[in-house]
Amino acid sequence: MEPPAILLPALAPWFDLAGLAVFAASGALAAARRGQTMVTLAFFALITGVGGGTVRDLLIGAPVFWIVDSRAAAVCLSVALVIWVTPERWWRGAALDWFDAVGLAAYAVYGAAKALGYGVPPVPAFLMGVVTACVGGIIRDVLAGEPSILMRPELYVTAAALASALFIILSLSGMRGAFAAMIAAGAGFALRTAAIRWQIHLPAYRQRR
């Protein structure tokens, strides 16, 4: 496996920013659709964008990324401002779902790669990828009073798990970080978009009598 320092050498910042911007947008939109103020939009954008990465960094013992790099908070606040000044009709329909699929896959891979880079074993590193991709959305839903993504049958967390697990497997098999990242993120994105397009979901638990 590659040394941790060169996992995702060139793609890491782009994977990070893609997930950050898209999740920040989903948080700001959750507030905008409820007619909230700019302050609330900014708060929702920030907490949704950095929520998963913050939990990941605290768990793996890394410096919290948006505290040491001001660009992360700046991206979230900028996204909130863009949504605040643009017409609501720009954000209707399923467009955000498709962008969210990109962010989900990118953040899952990035989170897994960062965990591996900090010496976290493969199974916990896989879980850190899922946490990075999903926790921000869970916090957003709780604050907005919406059903959590954990309580929906649609393939959302599953897509993040696929991207994270595939990256771990490919990295451990010796594939270069950049190629492993592109393949893993592509697989997670494909699963999520298929779920959106064809309403694919996991079977629900059936009570045993």
Domain range spanning residue 38? 11-198
* CA-CA-CA-CA torsion sign (109, 9, 67, 17): negative
8-25 pLDDT tens trace: 545 566 667 777 888 899
5 falls within a domain: no
d(CA 13, CA 119): 20
29 falls within a domain: yes
204 falls within a domain: no
Residue 142: Cβ-neighbour burial (10 angstroms; 0-12, 13-18, 19+): exposed
- CB atoms under 10 Å from CB of 3, counted, come to 8
Residue 34 token pair: 């409820």
143 falls within a domain: yes
Q: What is the mean pLDDT of the chain?
A: 87
Q: Are 41 and 28 in contact (CB under 8 A)?
A: yes
Residue type at 119? G
205 falls within a domain: no
69-103 pLDDT tens trace: 888 999 999 999 999 999 877 777 666 678 788 88
17-62 pLDDT tens trace: 777 888 899 899 889 888 899 999 999 999 999 999 999 999 999 9
17 falls within a domain: yes
203 falls within a domain: no
- CB atoms under 10 Å from CB of 96, counted, come to 15
Q: Number of folded domains in the chain?
A: 1
pTM over 0.85: yes
The alpha-carbon radius of gyration of the chain (Å, integer) is: 17
Widest pairwise Cα distance in the chain: 55
169 falls within a domain: yes
* CA-CA-CA-CA torsion sign (197, 44, 186, 95): positive
Question: Taking each helix axis from N to C terminus, what angle separates 38-60 and 122-144, rounded to the nearest 10 degrees?
Answer: 160
